[in-house]
Amino acid sequence: MRKTYSGGHANRGAKLEMLVEMTNNQYRNAWLADIRKVPTHVKILKTEGNKVSGHLDTATWVDYSGIYEGYSIIFDAKETKLKRFPLKNISPHQYQLLKSWHKHGAIAFLLVAFWLEGKNEPEIYVLRFEQLAEFYESQGTERGTKSIAIDFFRENCERAKSGNGFTVDYIDALNLEHALR
């Protein structure tokens, strides 16, 4: 996927990214976790004075990585206006990275925001890697699917909400206190 970049901010995912960045700053300030946005690589094609043009490189990493109580955390933030999450929104490179880190003991997941019509705020869910793998690995098989319905998220995933002084408290939604002990 090739997107042209000419100095402005890529708008795709910007709302959720802003909420996660606020939360990550709050986590750092509270000494709870240190999770940072991984910069998007831009391949510069041409410069003319102070104008730079280029394109975003193929996604080979995910949006965020960091540490919480000695455990590595890695995740990607995705958003949709649909009542389903299209699996095509995850590049094979991103999936493989999440899979590898998960296999090596990291806390790997997707943070998925549904911006539904008529609602002022999104429904944000934590999709654990194990859950993602079931859907992602079944693509192309007889029982495979190309998306995950919002009802699956509502019934099987924890919702990340504002609370405990954090904008989108996804660490609370991960229920790590019980899982890591």
The pLDDT value given to residue 155: 96
The pLDDT value given to residue 97: 94
Structural domains in the chain, sorted by start: 3-179 (3.40.1350.10)
Look up the pTM and report it: 0.82
Element (H, E) at 95: helix 92-103
**Cβ contacts of 9-15, under 8 Å, gap ≥ 24:** 10/40, 10/56, 13/63, 13/77, 13/78, 13/79, 15/79, 15/113, 15/115, 15/122
The pLDDT value given to residue 110: 97
How big is the chain by its Cα radius of gyration, in Å? 17
The pLDDT value given to residue 60: 63
The pLDDT value given to residue 58: 60
The pLDDT value given to residue 5: 32
The pLDDT value given to residue 1: 39
Mean pLDDT per block of 10 residues along the chain (181 residues) reads 37 80 96 89 77 68 90 94 94 94 96 92 95 87 82 96 93 76 46
